[in-house]
Amino acid sequence: MNEFLKHFQKQQAAMTRREITTQTECPYCSVQCTMNLHEEKSIMVSRYSVSANKEDPVTDGRLCVKGLNAHVHAVDEGRLKYPMIREKGKLMKVSWEAALEEIRIQLQTLQGKYGNDSIGVYGGGSLTNEECYVLGKFARIALQTKYIDYNGRFCMSAAAGASNLTFGIDRGLSNPLTEVPLAKCIILAGTNIAECQPTIMQYFRKARQEGCKIIVIDPRETATCSIADLHLKVKPGYDAALVNGMLKVILDEGYTDPDFLEKRTNGYAELVEHVNKVSLSEVSALTGVSPQQITEAARMYGQAETGMIFTARGVEQHASGVANVRNFLNLVLVTGKIGKPGCGYGAITGQANGQGGREHGQKADQLPGYRLIENPEHRAYIAKVWGVPEEELPRKGLSAYEMMEAIDRGEIKGLIILGSNPIVSNPNSHMVEKALKKLKFLLVIDLFESETARLANILLPGSAYLEDEGTMTQLEGRVLVRRALRPLPGKARLDWRILCDIASVLGKGQYFQYQSAEEIFNELRVASKGGKADYYGMTYSLLEQQHGMFWPCPEEGHPGTPRMFEHRFEHEDGRAQLTPIEHQNPKEVATRKYPYLLTTGRVLQHYLSGVQTRHTSELNSKYPEPLLEIHPDSAGEIGLVNGGHAKVSSKRGTIRLKVKFSQKIRPDTVFVAFHWGNDQCINRLTNPALDPTCKMPEFKVCAVQINPS
């Protein structure tokens, strides 16, 4: 281009340059930090940048590195922009009409031949409440299938199961984050907040400045340990045993709250009988934590005037996940540390809408508002809201991983996936890939051609957070409304609209006549009314005015419920249920053939199956591949070199990984993050043993063999 033309273009660009700043929420973790997106638009290109919203009352104007780069994948040119159908092995661009017609033919043919339950639906926790609600309704009304579940099964289900059994209700945090600094002792068990919810670290730092003692329970000395007064380097899979030791000290040394136990709980006598049998030295041998440290931790928490316990996936992603969490809840209850300022329990939710995603009906056994699909009254209520006879609602289906097994057995023939990448995120992912390849029909609605989308017969371009209006319920139980900022790229459509379009070609359009997300929300409010997660008293305008509202919020004018359990728990008699927890070994323990314990989790720069963050060079360049974190002593015994490679094998598979020495991990344990697919997918090794109550897989411990490679 000659100089004149260059100059001319520059002038034109300057003349048409516009700057637009709009407010949105980060699409990644459960904190849901609000942010300002700046777009500098000229005729040639748009440039984007992000800044924190100083007015955000939760984050106080903070963003982590993922948030600062969250726009990158959403505006990426590589986004899916057109519907595609696989023809002769290749995905080919087609019109929406052609795609919807093919979907109709496939679904009706399979259901005609094999019955309604031959189709499964698989959702995710990044979707808005409105989309989760429509997805559940779509499965039950448009497809009339019992098979629907979602990725939250791998995320929140153990904590949810435990809270339901102990408290009679499940909301992530029982208290708002602003109460964290009021606690005098905090236990952070299997939660790496510094890397996974970085912008809330400030609350814990503030607590510490106010004299709070912080105990971290983790097999690794994580970044979160920077605020710990005491770190219990537990062996993976032994949290319940550790808590039994702490309960023993608390009962023996008299740190219980007898008044609270008498007035507000059931089951104390049985718990005492069980704890009396616990021996600290046995607990120490099992957990690898010394009796002195167990005693110190129990005294810190037991003697503190106020206290809070937080758990996350480290404690929960086990075949004994529900029992593990219930033991932490025993600790909360025997000391009476709940329902008061600075006293409570929190399961730190993971995904952007991990909380709301588990409330409104995309779970196999659930209807909106935490209603249960097997409860006759609940069925009757929702059938009325949806305008169908109660008998037409399907019954309870299977959990996420069990659906994969049903696909493998040939019982589910077609699957619709919205907002998840199961080949990367399911345990035993070799089997999952094999199963998905057996499907007669796989429809994926995504932003990118993920590892799972690559197997689709039909791939539809869905909506990213910048385009998609709706509500999200963040980790505190606070419902926030997120407005749409940008037009959809190419021919992409809003996720909820795609579901309505499919319902319409299936002849069920009359149940899905929504013109906006707000209209769906107004139906969701009614559907949740009287349920445990009651949103009835919320409206978009109230949510906007107040920077969100905490559920339950049962009627208009109700202020919402920031602190739960002040006067009663949600079991019928208003009491919480204590329960003795016998320690169970993990399903796989170290053996001569598989001598190390593998645990898996996250790193700061990447998000879940990595589809979004691997598309973001600023993040990907800092952590471009999975690393095998191993203690140098163990590495030395195996003959590994720092920065070299190792072959890691479990009974289910083998992958090759780069080695990273770390003094911070237990010598019997190795850690690998799960953000990568194909040959770098650690889930090829993980154990699909499921918790009997909630069906959470044992992501956090399996036995492996390690060899130099």
Find the binding residues for ligand MGD in span 417-476 (CB under 6 A): 418-422, 424-425, 445-448, 450, 462-464
By the rule CB under 6 A, 186 interacts with ligand MGD: no
Do 594 and 703 touch, CB atoms closer than 8 A?
yes
CB of 87 to ligand MGD, least distance (A): 23
Residue indicated by tokens 């995905």 = 91
d(CA 207, CA 667): 32
By the rule CB under 6 A, 312 interacts with ligand MGD: yes
Torsion, Cα 26 133 83 678, to 10 degrees, reads 60
Do 375 and 49 touch, CB atoms closer than 8 A?
no
CB closer to Mo ion out of 249 and 400 = 400
The residues of the shown chain that bind Mo ion, judged by CB under 5 A, are 155, 350
- Report, in angstroms and rounded to the nearest whole number, the Rg of the chain calculated over CA atoms: 25
The site partner of 551 among Mo ion, ligand MGD, ligand SF4, none (C-beta below 5 to 8 Å per kind) is none
Q: Which residues pair with 127 in a beta bridge?
A: none
By the rule CB under 6 A, 482 interacts with ligand MGD: no
The site partner of 371 among ligand MGD, Mo ion, ligand SF4, none (C-beta below 5 to 8 Å per kind) is none
Question: Judged by CB under 6 A, which of 82, 138, 154, 551 binds ligand MGD?
Answer: 154
The site partner of 191 among ligand MGD, Mo ion, ligand SF4, none (C-beta below 5 to 8 Å per kind) is ligand MGD
Long-range contacts from 222-225, C-beta under 8 angstroms, 24+ separation:
222/192, 222/194, 222/195, 222/664, 223/192, 223/194, 223/195, 223/604, 224/188, 224/191, 224/192, 224/193, 224/194, 224/195
The site partner of 32 among ligand SF4, ligand MGD, Mo ion, none (C-beta below 5 to 8 Å per kind) is ligand SF4
User: Two tokens at 1?
Assistant: 């281009």
CB closer to ligand SF4 out of 70 and 598 = 70
Phi, psi of 444 (to 5 degrees): -120, 135
Do 659 and 632 touch, CB atoms closer than 8 A?
no
Q: Is 336 exposed, middle or buried (0-12, 13-18, 19+ CB in 10 A)?
A: buried
Judged by DSSP in three states, 653 sits in strand
Find the binding residues for ligand SF4 in span 181-220 (CB under 6 A): 197-199
Judged by DSSP in three states, 357 sits in helix
d(CA 277, CA 254): 17
By the rule CB under 6 A, 58 interacts with ligand SF4: no
Residue indicated by tokens 């002769």 = 88
d(CA 264, CA 40): 58
Instruction: Enter the DSSP assignment of 465.
Output: T
The site partner of 418 among ligand SF4, ligand MGD, Mo ion, none (C-beta below 5 to 8 Å per kind) is ligand MGD
Find the binding residues for ligand SF4 in span 556-615 (CB under 6 A): none
By the rule CB under 6 A, 82 interacts with ligand MGD: no
Residue nearest to ligand SF4 (CB): 67
By the rule CB under 6 A, 174 interacts with ligand SF4: no
Helix, strand, coil % in the chain, rounded to nearest 5 = 40, 20, 40
CB closer to ligand MGD out of 370 and 699 = 699
By the rule CB under 6 A, 312 interacts with ligand SF4: no
In the complex, the residues that contact ligand MGD under the rule CB under 6 A are: 29, 124-127, 151, 154-155, 189-192, 195-197, 217-220, 222, 234, 236-237, 239, 312-315, 317, 350-351, 354, 418-422, 424-425, 445-448, 450, 462-464, 495, 599-602, 604, 606-609, 611-612, 671, 674, 682-683, 686, 699-701
Binding residues (CB under 6 A) for ligand SF4: these are 26, 28-29, 31-33, 63-64, 66-67, 197-199
